[in-house]
Amino acid sequence: MTVCVFLGCTFVAFGPAAALFVLTVARDPLRVIFLIAGAFFWLVSLLVSALVWFITVQMSNRDSAAQQKGLLIFGVVLSVLLQEAFRFAYYRLLKKANDGLLALSQEDTMPITICQLAYVSGLGFGFMSGAFSVVNILSDSVGPGTVGIHGDSQHYFISSAFMTLAIILLHMFWGVVFFDACERRRWWVLSAVVLSHLLVSCLTFVNPQYEGSLIPTYIIVCVMAGWAFSRAGGSLRNLRLCLTCKDKDFLLANHRPR
Amino acid sequence: IYSPRVLLRVKPSVNSLYLDVSGSSVEQKIYIELKNTVPCVRLLNATHQIGCQSSISGDTGVLHVLETEADLDWILSTGPHPPYMVLMEATFFTRPTMMRMKNSTRVAGVAVINSNTTAVESFSPHTSCPNQNTGVYREDYGPDLANCSSTVWNPLGNSMSYEDFTFPIFSLKDDNQTQVMRKCYEDHNMRVNGSAPQYPLCAMQLFSHMHAVTDTVTCMRRAEVCDPLSDFNVWASIRPINASAKGHKNNESVVIAAARLDGRSFFWDIGTSAEGTVSGIVTLLAAAHALYPVTQEAPPVRNIFFTFFQGETFDYIGSSRMVYDMKQDKFVINLDNVHSVLEIGQVGLRNGQKLWMHTDPVSRKNSTVDEEVINLVDNIKSVASTLNVSLDEPNTTQALPPSSFQRFLRVQPIPGVVLADHKSSFINRYYESLYDTAAYLNMTYPSDLSPEEQMEYETEASKVSRSARLPDQHCQGTYTSNSSYIGTKTFSHCISCSLSLSPSLFQMAKLLYGFLVRSNNSWFSSLLPPEAGAKGRSSILESGPPQYYIGLRQDNSVKSVTRFVQFVMANATGTVTSLNQIQCQNPNDVPGESKDLYSYHWVSGPPSANSTEGDPYCVRTSVRLAKALSPAFELPEYGSREYSTWTESRWKTIRARIFLVASPQLEMLTLGVGVTVLLVSLVLTYFISSKAELLFSSTHETPNTTY
């Protein structure tokens, strides 16, 4: 659909993630490293689930459409479970690396808090997941044609871009909530995260009814945003103070020596 | 970068397989690739470029079907979504329409639907005076006959093949794909109650970018941008002649029996050329079949050279090369060895009327030449009078029609006759076009015959002149055109003996079938070498008729039609030997065989009871191939006015596809939404990160106890 659509969809899908990266992550090399490691962990989880799916497809009956659809659903569920498992594995790895990091750092305190680690690793997961979701769609959007000659909906590209945006944000929020729950050993929170991930992934089977998949997904994005905000240390009071610009007095009053 | 266009042309099914495998699923949602399309490509000569080309990334346009005059106005002036891609039936593919489109900026390309059902009254995209600058008539030779001033040979010619179009023109068959295109047009692009159609609209993109520009001189200067048209002439002699000794041969007087081997159409690499070319080829081949056995029993005084010239459509490539080689003493004989020339022109549409003998009035001003020509004409007439064939000479001041004989006359006055079915202008309504097919010559078969049965079936065309039973010393049999018989009897008079000839009727039917309907038949397969036959690795047989466009030669390969003629002639004028395959490749080792006098070929042989593949044998024949590359590329003199300088451009991709396009407003909206999201997220992120200490302060009441 030409360069305009390509640029528009790229900005929608990766704009917020790029903004977050440039403004909050890029300045601190340690955060960059952990972001890339997080992306790598997501990639490995995708590889494993792709391998399992490929093997099952080879063994299955190619001609039966129902069986192929069933296999696809199985593949999606397996992939979600594997992603969350690798997120947990990354958490364990980071905890083990804590001592090493403390020894390496020249200050007495941790150079990076677990909350920041959660955010950065979630963002890494999100980047990789978004890339694999949308890059091949973007590459086809550069051509002169748009989807529709076989009767599909015309809004394929922009819907895919918004879905990718939602997934990236969700991965970030899930990362924060997940790590916090692991810290406090609240296992029911973990299952809530896994279930919401499953819900969002399975909502995509409703496509091409884009309203049916995008609206519930964005509702979940808002819910997870609020949850992550509260886990990360935010509260309504802070938000109100921030917005009404009474922050200067507050900071001076609560100033703690670092 | 060299283009794999032979692969594209010869094996379209393989190409489509690659497309299916490599296209991603998103691409398949968007585009429908059109298969079996034939482009019009760019050809260049010393001064001009002709043909069509697209821009390097293809030309896209909104599809519009041209059915009425109102549609033409919509495309050229009133339609709101230019540029348009025009889809038209063959009846609209005329010069006025195409010229109007050529001058308009609102046309992105044209696709012509070529269906078997709609018949065009007449269509000849060739010039009205074929090969006018490279023939024999010029300022110093018959100036009043030059440039068709006295006779316009192809009056129906509209010269469309020789125009330079800046947009691509493709030809499509009328099949399922065309139905899909029409459906796409009807669903999205039709006007509803006179108002303009709404986006998304159905569009088409054509890729046919040509690398060469301007003319041959420019493109040959740059490497790997164009290639000269070339192939091989086929010649065979009744009496073997030493092919290693070039130049004048003593005591050798030769009659050249010539026909042309090629044709063309507006589009690339197709040209069935039934009346224009095949009628002559088949006639000459049948004459060779009939004459050879008899000349072995009663050897004639003069030798006969059966010669098939390739590339005559493009300013006489083959004949100019042979004449040049004769002059340079690089050919087996010299022009002084040539006694006379008898050429078979277009002879397929005679339909019971007269056959005409054309001669050159200017050379006949010389009395010796005139005497010989009169002799020749009388011989022919006397033969024809014994059959029910009427022959006549047209007005003696009329010029010679475009023929290979003209290139011989350019160098030396030689007596000669060109046989044709037209008195002055061509009666061929489809000269050098797609419609000059077997159907035009009334070659129809009952629908329930298998291909092999069809081959043996005598169509009306081959029955056309069934002559009465004749006295012994003449022939019994029938021919597609009696010119073949005339030809053979004429040769017999030329070579001063009287022969009794009995050519086979089946031979004619098989020849016509193989050259006009289907080359993949058992007879052709038995005449070809095993690897080129039906079951061979590099088979040149196809399920349709052979195409006669000369094309290019990569790695000295030979065009399929040239091979067919070569091996049919080998069968006609050759003998079966008992050599085995190894001896066949090195005949000089065998006593009594000579590679100088003969050429030896290992051929498949007809299938027999005990082997379906056929018993191969070694055939010994005098048939040889002579390179048909214009002397302009040998000298080299790319801007030559005397010789053919035709080249074909190279290209990288030829494809066509259809898809939907969205409105520019929607695209801009998408871009706007994207930019907005990006900016909002940047602002929000900056705001949050600057206030991060405040916003995320509540949980870390005891920061030092976390670790």
CA distance B120 to B448: 27
Average pLDDT in the A84-91 region?
94
pLDDT more than 90, % of chain B: 49
Cβ distance B707 to A165 less than 8 Å, yes or no, reads no
Note the pLDDT of residue A63: 81
Separation in Å, CA of A236 to nearest CA in chain B: 9
Cβ distance B694 to A150 less than 8 Å, yes or no, reads no
Q: What's the pLDDT at B452?
A: 65
Residue matched to tokens 């110093």 = B140
pLDDT band at A37 (very low <50, low <70, confident <90, very high): very high
Asked if the Cβ–Cβ distance from A158 to B202 is below 8 Å, we say no
Pairing, β B465-466 against β B478-479: antiparallel
The Cβ-side half-sphere exposure at B222, using a 13 Å CA radius, reads 13
Least confident of A58-62, B228-232, B252-256, B267-271: A58-62
pLDDT at B21: 42
Spatial distance between the Cα atoms of B563 and B540, rounded to a whole number of angstroms: 9
- Answer whether residue B423 shows pLDDT above 80: yes
pLDDT at B131 (0 to 100): 93
Q: How far is CA B499 from the centre of its chain?
A: 37
* B695/A23 CB distance under 8 A: no
Computed over every residue of chain A, the mean pLDDT equals 88
A208, A148 contact by CB (below 8 A)? no
**Contact A238/B697, CB-based, under 8 Å?**
yes
Residues of B in contact with A162 (CB under 8 A): none
Shortest distance between the Cα of A227 and any Cα of chain B, in A, equals: 13
Task: Name the residue of chain B whose CA is nearest to A150's CA.
Answer: B29
Task: Identify the three-state secondary structure at position B602.
Answer: strand
Percent composition of chain A: helix, strand, coil (DSSP 3-state, to 5): 80, 0, 20
Q: Is the pLDDT of residue A182 over 70?
A: yes
Confidence of residue A249 (pLDDT cuts 50, 70, 90): low
3-state secondary structure (DSSP) of residue B235 = strand
Contact A5 B670 (CB under 8 A): yes
Mean pLDDT of A23-42: 93
> Span B221-238, mean pLDDT?
91
Give the Cα separation of B493 and B254 in Å (integer). Answer: 13
Q: Is the pLDDT of residue B548 over 90?
A: yes
Q: What is the DSSP letter of B632?
A: G
Amino acid A247: pLDDT = 55
Distances (CA, A) of B566 to B233, B525, B574, B600: 9, 13, 11, 12
Average pLDDT over residues A39-54: 94
B589 class by beta-carbon count within 10 Å (0-12 exposed, 13-18 middle, 19+ buried): exposed
Q: Do B673 and A158 touch (CB under 8 A)?
A: yes
In this prediction, residue B455 carries a pLDDT of 64
Residue that has been written with the tokens 């193989």 in this structure: B514
What tokens appear for B251 in the block?
């005591």
Q: Does position B51 have pLDDT exceeding 90, yes or no?
A: yes
**pLDDT, tens only, B330-380:** 999 999 999 999 999 998 887 767 889 999 999 989 999 999 999 888 888
Of the partner residues A140, A231, A247, the one whose CB lies closest to the CB of residue B30: A140
The tens digit of pLDDT for each residue in B660-682 reads 999 999 999 999 999 999 999 99
Q: What is the mean pLDDT of chain B?
A: 83
pLDDT band at B612 (very low <50, low <70, confident <90, very high): low
Residues of A in contact with B698 (CB under 8 A): 233-235, 237-238
Chain B residues inside the 8 Å CB shell of A16: 677-678, 681, 685
**pLDDT value at residue B454:** 64
pLDDT for residue B36 is more than 70 = yes
User: pLDDT tier at A100 (50, 70, 90 boundaries)?
Assistant: confident
Least confident of B205-214, B541-550, B613-622: B613-622
Find how far residue B126's CA is from the centre of its chain: 13
pLDDT confidence of residue B10: 33
Confidence of residue B257 (pLDDT cuts 50, 70, 90): very high
Instruction: Note whether A238 contacts B670, CB cutoff 8 Å.
Output: no
Contact A2 B667 (CB under 8 A): yes
Partner-chain contact B24 A140, CB within 8 Å: yes
| Residues of chain A neighbouring B674 (CB-CB closer than 8 A) | 7-12, 15, 161
At residue B447, the pLDDT reads 66
Residue of A9, A11, A115 to mutate, testing the B interface (most B Cβ within 10 Å of its Cβ): A11
| Average of per-residue pLDDT across B63-77 | 91
The whole-angstrom distance between A154's CA and the closest CA on chain B is 8
| Region B74-85 average pLDDT | 90
Disruptive mutation site among B59, B85, B177, B678 for chain A (greatest number of A CBs within 10 Å): B678
CB atoms within 10 A of CB B414: 19
A2-20 vs B664-690: helix crossing angle, rounded to 10: 10
Q: Kindly state the tokens that stand for B588.
A: 């000089």
Peptide bond into A208 cis (omega under 30): yes
Q: What ipTM, to 2 d.p.?
A: 0.91
Nearest-Cα distance to chain B for A161, in Å, is 9
Q: For B469-506, what is each residue's pLDDT tens digit?
A: 112 222 222 223 344 555 454 444 443 333 334 445 66
Residue A212 binned pLDDT confidence (cut-offs 50, 70, 90): confident
**A-B interface: how many C-beta pairs under 8 angstroms?**
153
Nearest CA in chain B to A183: B706
List the single residue in A with minimal CA-CA distance to B705: A109
pLDDT at B688: 87
CA–CA gap between residue B92 and residue B456 (Å, rounded) = 38
Residue B224: pLDDT band (50, 70, 90) is: confident
Which residues in chain A touch residue B675, judged by CB atoms under 8 angstroms apart?
Answer: 8, 11
pLDDT tens by residue, A101-132:
777 777 767 778 888 899 999 999 999 999 99
Nearest-Cα distance to chain A for B675, in Å, is 6
Cβ within 8 Å, pair B660-A154 = yes
* CB-nearest partner of A154 from B60, B662, B695: B662
| The two structure tokens encoding residue A239 | 């938000």
In this prediction, residue B17 carries a pLDDT of: 33
Each residue's pLDDT tens digit, B180-191: 999 999 999 988
User: What phi and psi values does residue B310 have, to the nearest 5 degrees?
Assistant: -95, 145
* Chain B residues with CB-CB distance to A207 below 8 A: none
Nearest CA in chain A to B681: A16
Q: For B115-163, write each residue's pLDDT tens digit.
A: 877 678 899 999 999 999 999 999 888 889 988 998 999 999 999 999 9
d(CA A30, CA B591): 89
Decide if A234 and B670 are in contact by the 8 Å CB cutoff.
no
